[in-house]
Structure 1
Amino acid sequence: MKFILRFILSIFIVSISFMSISANAQLVNIESKRMHTDSLRFVLNSDLLFNYTDNNGEYILQVKSNVATQFKSKNLKSIYFLIGNLSLIRSKDEDFQNSYFLHARFNQKITDVVRFEAFVQNQSNENLTISDRNLLGVGLRLKIFDKSGTLAYLGNSYIYEIESVATTDQKFYNHRNSSYLSLNQNFKKVNLDITGTLYFQPLYDNISNHRILSQFKAQMPLTKRISFSALYNYAVINFNSDLEDNRSSNVSFGFTLDL
């Protein structure tokens, strides 16, 4: 019963955003979603934002939801991770944003340094050139530094992806490489946690067709249950073709409630 109540309450946590710029990209930084929970086997974080405004029949509907859950095996060497989000901003005449994202990942500890990962992903964003993207990937994650509150990870994966362009009904079947470097620094005196990540994802047979994502995240607990966070994303997608390249940035500030 306690778990059910915790689940229901967490679904209705309201995420307060003060500022956001531009649209979501078809690149999502999984590093910012990972949960470093040590021996805690199950974690669930979620939030829901709903807003409806009507002025003389002209309405704006905004719905945004995020869910992240993680489960560890008894020996803590296997991690099952699922995240999803939905974002809808709609008026009477058009959709300003209509997107969703689902990602499931399995992480297996091989040694203290090396981890094996496998993942599947489905996402859609009608405002981007690539309106739908489905992928399957496998790879390795290496812990290259762990000392004095500093963590550094290097990852490399193979990705098979299917991309769709809604405006032209085109489909692309690609073999893509994904590499990333992630640095995390914890400042214990001020209770501040900072993470920076850089992704590079080129096609194996055409490196000019690539995706780049850089992210900076800062998080500071204000109380035992409430944290303040700031996030900046910048993404570039170069197609090296007749398709229009995509560039997007996003800045957000908000509060998170952990139950």
Structure 2
Amino acid sequence: MIRILLLATALLIPGVISAQLVNIESKRVQTDSIRFTLDADFSFNHTNNDGSQVNQIDAALTTQLKSKDLRKIYFFLGNYKLIDSGEENLQNAWFLHGRFNYKFSQLLRFETFLQGQYNQLLVVEQRNLIGAGLRVKWIDKERFTGYAGNSYLYEMESSDRAGTTNYNHRNSTYLTLSYKAKSQKFSITNTVYYQPLYRDVKDYRILEQFRLDIPLSTWLKVFTLYNYYFDSKTPLNTEEYTSNLNLGVGIRI
């Protein structure tokens, strides 16, 4: 009964992200033999400073489905974040991502994806994109797994503050390394993304993410997530960065 209540709570609140570049690697399910998974993360924070109250909700829903031959992979991620001071929303952000993978071999895959996101705090409040590329497994050990990928992105960036809407062609490169303890008591994933414009490599974005998961049972876990995001050139011709540390609880069925 407790498990059902936790899952229902997570499903009713679409999930969370604070930067406009999002780490999909931490949400993938890397076990080849698992055909269907559903993950839900949820965290809540309440702060009261001399009567000034702030509530924060962070949640995420991820699902992955594989074909019978395990070569085709369908992946979906939904996130939502709200920080409410009672008088106004200090932050409102959402993120949706859909992806298809086709496995050519144990080492090489093709992937294509669609993505939409919004964050009221950043100069680029809304970004929508479509992309495709290749993904390579560069480490395949008992405890360590590593992936690298390179993709082409076509994106639309909208900024209310700058009063602009830009259509860009970007390259996206990522490198990820995961470690799973022999005792299965914890797992660690670290990922770096680099996304420059093709026409101007000085205009780029970087995301660094570190994630620690500690299972409490076969379906319940606690996690720590740290993100650092940097944009070298916004539509206002300024640099922008965000960092976020999040502690929470998640489930998997």
Structure-1 residue corresponding to 2:201: 207
Q: What secondary structure, in the 3-state scheme, does the structure 2 residue paired with 1:32 have?
A: helix
1:89-126 per-position Cα deviation (integer Å, ceiling 9, x unaligned): 23443220011000000011011111000000000001
Name which of 214, 217, 221 aligns with 1:220.
Answer: 214
Structure-2 residue corresponding to 1:10: 7
Report if aligned partners of 1:100, 1:125 keep a CA contact under 8 Å in 2: yes
Report if aligned partners of 2:126, 2:159 keep a CA contact under 8 Å in 1: yes
Unaligned runs of 5+ in 2: 12-16
Unaligned runs of 5+ in 1: 1-5, 15-22
Report if aligned partners of 2:111, 2:132 keep a CA contact under 8 Å in 1: yes
**Misfit runs of 4+, over 6 Å:** 50-55
Report if aligned partners of 1:129, 1:243 keep a CA contact under 8 Å in 2: no
Structure-2 residue corresponding to 1:144: 138
Q: What secondary structure, in the 3-state scheme, does the structure 1 residue paired with 2:25 have?
A: helix
Q: Where does 1:231-242 land on structure 2 (aligned, <5 Å)?
A: 231-239=225-233, 242=236
Structure-2 residue corresponding to 1:17: none
Name which of 130, 135, 138 aligns with 2:124.
Answer: 130
Query: Offset at 1:148?
Result: 2.8
In structure 2, relative to structure 1, the CA distance for the partners of 1:85 and 1:211 (3 Å cut) is same
Report if aligned partners of 1:78, 1:106 keep a CA contact under 8 Å in 2: yes
Structure-2 residue corresponding to 1:248: 242
The amino acid of 2:8's aligned partner reads: I
In structure 2, relative to structure 1, the CA distance for the partners of 1:239 and 1:148 (3 Å cut) is same
Query: How far, CA to CA, are the matches of 2:234 and 2:38 in structure 1?
Result: 40
Q: Where does 1:17-166 land on structure 2 (aligned, <5 Å)?
A: 24-48=18-42, 62-166=56-160
Structure-1 residue corresponding to 2:14: none
Q: Which moved more, 1:63-72 or 1:162-171?
A: 63-72
Report if aligned partners of 1:216, 1:231 keep a CA contact under 8 Å in 2: yes
1:152-180 per-position Cα deviation (integer Å, ceiling 9, x unaligned): 11100000000011123201110000001
Identity of aligned residues (%): 44
Report if aligned partners of 1:90, 1:97 keep a CA contact under 8 Å in 2: yes
Query: How far, CA to CA, are the matches of 1:184 and 1:47 in structure 2?
Result: 19
TM-score (normalised: structure 1): 0.85
Query: How far, CA to CA, are the matches of 2:230 and 2:85 in structure 1?
Result: 28
Query: How far, CA to CA, are the matches of 1:201 and 1:134 in structure 2?
Result: 15
Query: Offset at 1:39?
Result: 2.1
The amino acid of 2:211's aligned partner reads: K
Asked if 1:195 is matched to 2:192, the reply is no
Report if aligned partners of 1:10, 1:45 keep a CA contact under 8 Å in 2: no
In the comparison of the two structures, how many residue pairs are matched?
A: 247
Report if aligned partners of 1:195, 1:217 keep a CA contact under 8 Å in 2: yes
1:13-72 per-position Cα deviation (integer Å, ceiling 9, x unaligned): 49xxxxxxxx811111000111124322221122455788999x9875544431111111
In structure 2, relative to structure 1, the CA distance for the partners of 1:53 and 1:29 (3 Å cut) is closer
The amino acid of 1:150's aligned partner reads: F
